[in-house]
Amino acid sequence: MALRLVSLSLSVFITLLLSQCATAAQDVTCSGMVPVRWRRESISIADFGGVGDGVTLNTWPFRKAIYRIEHLRRRGGTLLYIPAGVWLTGNFNLTSHMTLYLARGAVIKATQDTWNWPLVDPLPSYGRGRELPGGRYASFIQGNGLRDVIITGERGIIDGQGEVWWNMWRQRSLRFTRPNLLEFMHSREIHISNVVFKNSPFWNIHPVYCSNVVIRYVSIVAPYDSPNTDGIDPDSSSSVCIEDSFISTGDDMVAVKSGWDEYGIAYGRPSSGITIRRVTGSTPFSGIAIGSETSGGVEDVVVENINLYNTGIGIHIKTNVGRGGYIRNVKISDVSMNKVRKGIRIAGDVGDHPDGGFSQHAIPVVDGVTIKNVWGVGVEQPGSIQGIKNSPFTRICLSNVKLWGVGSRPSALWKCMDVSGAALGVQPWPCAELTTTFGTGGLCSGAI
C-alpha cells in the first residue's frame, strides 16, 4: 500500500511545544523527564482504510497501522495521525517509539460490543481481577513492555463509551473486571498530554509497573455517578509526573496504588517518586488518594496546588489490616476545597480483600505525612486520623490547615485515635494526639 505523508502542519506541532515550554517556564514542572519528541515519519489512520464516520469499525486499520510502526522501526519513531472525525474501534495495542496524535475534532470511540471484548490475565500484584475473580477485560488502549510512547494532539477525545459497562456493573451481570480506558504495563518513557479522556468503563489512566511517566494537560470526565471511574491511578510505578489537568469523574481523581494484600506483598514493587501538581476537579469520592491498595509500599509522594470542589473527601490516605506495606514521606501542600464532605481522612480500616488468603499479621506502616497550607469552605467535617491499634500512624504533621463549615455553622470536630504527630495553625483544632512541637527535635522537625 502506498503511504502518503500526513499533512500535519509543522507549525501546529511547534506551537504545541512552545505552549508547553512557556507554561513550564512560568511554573515548576517535572514534565521534562519525558519530553515530546518530534517523529521523522508520519502516517494517517486513513492510509490503512480507516473511516471516521462514527459507524465503520476501525479495529483492523488501527492494528495494521501500529503493526507497520512496530515492524518497520523507522529511526526516531513514527507518528500515527488521527484526523478529525469519529473513529469507532475495538481495543488495540500501542508499540514503542510511536506517537498517537489526535487532531482537533478527532474522537477515538470504543465499540460497545462487550461480548467480543478480549480477556487478559489478572495483574500479578492483584492476583485476580479487581472486581471479580479470574481474568479481566483488556484495556481499550494498552501497551506492555514499551518504551518511548507519546499520546498527544489538539485536545482530541478518547471516548470509552462506558455506560454499557456501568450498567452491567449495576445489574451485576459482569463476567469479568471492566476494562480501563488506557493502561501501560512494564513500560517507560510515557508522555500523555493535550487529550480528553471520556466515559471510561473503569479506571481511566492506569500506569502499572512503569517508570518515567508524564501525564499533563489532560481532561478526564465521566458522570458523577459512574462507578469506579478513577481518573489517574499510578500503580507500582516510579517517577510519575501528573500536572496541569482537570478531572471530574465518579471515583477518586488521582489514587496512588501498589498492589493488593498478599499478592502485592509478594510482588513487592512500590510506587515512589510520584508528583501531583496543579490538578483541579470534582468527585463524590476522594480528590487526592493514596490507597487503599498499597501492599507493595508507597513513598516519596509530593502533592501541591490542588483545587477541589463538590468532592467527598479532599485528601484521603487509606489502608487496612492485611495490606502490609507502608505509606511514608508524603508531602501535601497548597490545597483549596469548596463544598467537601470531609477535608482530610487518614484511615487504617478502608478497603476490601481479594480473598481469604490475606494475613491479619500484615499490618501496614504509615509514617511521615505532612499536610500544610490547606484552605476549605463548605466543609461538613474537617477530618479524621484513625490509625491501627497495633501500628499507630506516626509523624502525622498538619500546618496552616483551615477548614470552615457550611454557611454559619462551624465545622464538626476532628476524630483521632492511634496516631502521633503535631499540628500548628489548624482550625478547628484537630485532636489531643497531635502536639504543637515543631521545633528542633520535634515530631515534625524539618517537615514544615
Q: pLDDT tens per residue, the chain (448 residues)?
A: 444 444 443 434 444 444 444 444 468 999 999 999 999 999 999 999 999 999 999 999 999 999 999 998 899 999 999 999 999 999 999 999 999 999 999 999 999 999 999 999 999 999 999 999 999 999 999 999 999 999 999 999 999 999 999 999 999 999 999 999 999 999 999 999 999 999 999 999 999 999 999 999 999 999 999 999 999 999 999 999 999 999 999 999 999 999 999 999 999 999 999 999 999 999 999 999 999 999 999 999 999 999 999 999 999 999 999 999 999 999 999 999 999 999 999 999 999 999 999 999 999 999 999 999 999 999 999 999 999 998 999 999 999 999 999 875 656 789 999 999 999 999 998 888 898 655 545 556 555 5
Task: Give the number of other Cβ atoms within 10 Å of residue 228's Cβ.
Answer: 22
> Following DSSP, what letter does each residue of 245-260 receive, concatenated?
EEEE-SS-SEEEB---
pTM score of the predicted model = 0.93
The answer for residues whose C-beta is within 8 angstroms of residue 358's C-beta and 6 or more apart is 261, 262, 322, 323
Q: How far apart are CA 276 and CA 214, in angstroms?
A: 10
According to the model, what pLDDT value does residue 442 have? Answer: 55
Residue 203 backbone phi and psi in degrees, to 5? -60, 150
In whole angstroms, what is the distance from residue 123 CA to residue 209 CA? 10
CA–CA dist 215, 157 (Å, integer) = 15
**Distance between CA atoms of residues 440 and 410, nearest Å:** 34
To the query of whether residue 251 is one of the catalytic residues in this protein, the response is yes
pLDDT of 431: 87
Question: Of residues 251, 252, 261, 367, which has the active-site annotation?
Answer: 251
pLDDT of residue 73: 86
Q: Domain spanning 29-435 has what CATH number?
A: 2.160.20.10
What is the phi/psi pair of residue 63, to 5°?
A: -65, -35
SS3 content of the chain, % helix, strand, coil (to 5): 10, 45, 40
Cα separation, 163 vs 223, whole angstroms:
10
